[in-house]
């Protein structure tokens, strides 16, 4: 498979999902779409905060992931696991940073910290 097609199908798809999240964020707590964890689904305030924060991080890191994978595809002609690893790393960083922000701003009961 052409390495550029591979990168576009893996990292490009991740970037496309981040754009969808950015332009069409979930309005209400639901079980289908959005940044869903037990804590974010406790109340609407956490839900809105978590989805807004995750969307920004996801967009930023998926764009970095796409550019990094395209550069890698240009430099290395045989790609196998590298674009997938870059994609998973960008997703993991987005989730970890979002969870840190949630824990910094909300207590265990879901109330805003002062």
Model confidence over 29-87: pLDDT tens digits?
A: 998 999 999 999 999 999 999 999 999 999 999 999 999 999 998 888 788 898 899 99
Q: What does the alpha-carbon distance between residue 87 and residue 92 come to, in Å, rounded to a whole number?
A: 9
Residue ranges of domains in the chain: 3-25+46-87
Sign of the CA dihedral with 109 first, then 114, 37, and 20 last? positive
Residue 73 or residue 98, greater confidence: 98
The reported pLDDT for the residue numbered 77 is 78
The pTM (predicted TM-score) of the whole model is 0.89
């Amino acid at each position: 498979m052409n390495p550029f097609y591979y990168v576009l199908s893996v990292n490009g798809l991740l970037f496309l999902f981040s754009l969808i999240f950015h332009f069409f964020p979930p309005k209400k707590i639901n079980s289908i779409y959005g940044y869903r964890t037990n804590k974010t689904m406790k109340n609407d305030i956490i839900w809105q905060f978590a989805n807004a924060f995750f969307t920004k991080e996801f967009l930023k890191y998926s764009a970095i992931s796409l550019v990094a994978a395209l550069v890698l595809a240009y430099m290395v002609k045989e790609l196998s696991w590298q674009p997938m690893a870059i994609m998973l790393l960008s997703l993991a960083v987005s989730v970890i940073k979002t969870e840190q922000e949630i824990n910094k701003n909300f207590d265990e009961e879901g109330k805003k910290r002062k």
